[in-house]
Amino acid sequence: MMKRIIYGLLAALFFFSFTTPAMSASNQPIHWGFKKAANEQPAEAGAQLDQLLAENGAFYKDSAKEKVLYLTFDNGYENGYTASVLDTLKKEKVPAAFFITGHYLKSAPDLVKRMNKEGHIIGNHSWHHPDLTQVSDAKLREELELVKKETARITKQKDMKYLRPPRGIFSERTLKVAREEGYTHVMWSLAFVDWQTNNQKGWQYSYDNIMKQIHPGAVLLLHTVSKDNAEALPKVLKDLKKKGYRFASLDEYRKKQKRVSL
């Protein structure tokens, strides 16, 4: 009888030691994607992704009940257009969030200082821009900490609350690790191919893509390396205001969610 029990326990240990890793999908890479908005009907990522993000305090859009927009930019490197973007934001009194890398911090510190001075949020886009699902927990934490520390060193922003994963790739594991570090993942519900610097198509291309996909509660993702975006932005902001939209900061969204959860 005792031998049977021992053999049973050994068999169970053998089974779980081989099956548990295969069954676990916690680090299965997810490449962010969604059904684009049309006719001001919100973009949709699907119930499964909606639930995963919600469970980990992440988001890609706000409620469709209010015509509010969240403007965000990804800054991997400087291409000469960020100052123009900042000029437009200042003139139109529009808040934005800039997700920056280590390269950007090192190569364009004056622009980072200006972002902070003019009231914009500086978010974390990682130091080396890796696929975060392919690095260890310790390395992921290091990637985030390096950006946070360097931002705090050169600006008055001493805390960092928002993360955009490089290339839009994440997993259940990376969501959880980032949340443990105090970060909210900010994905997006409006984007288009705007980062190809050798394939700029004119300001109208940028303008049309934004206006075609706009919807209440949208989180816009634009890249400041784009000449098209810099030239289209003044008209985009003015025309969206005419359509009844207002622009809010990510902090406003976060406060709203905290009130809802209480």
Q: Which residues are catalytic?
A: 74, 223
Contact 184, 253 (CB under 8 A): no
Contact 155, 184 (CB under 8 A): no
Q: Collapsing DSSP states into helix, strand and coil, what is residue 172?
A: helix
Alpha carbon distance 217, 61 (integer Å):
5
Opening angle at CA 226, ends 221 and 229, nearest 5? 65
Contact 163, 200 (CB under 8 A): no
Contact 78, 104 (CB under 8 A): yes
Residue with tokens 């992704």: 49
The H-or-E segment that residue 38 falls in is none
Q: Collapsing DSSP states into helix, strand and coil, what is residue 252?
A: helix
Q: Which region, left, alpha or beta, applies to residue 192 given φ > 0 means left and ψ of -120 to 50 means alpha?
A: beta
Alpha carbon distance 103, 155 (integer Å):
16
Contact 210, 37 (CB under 8 A): no
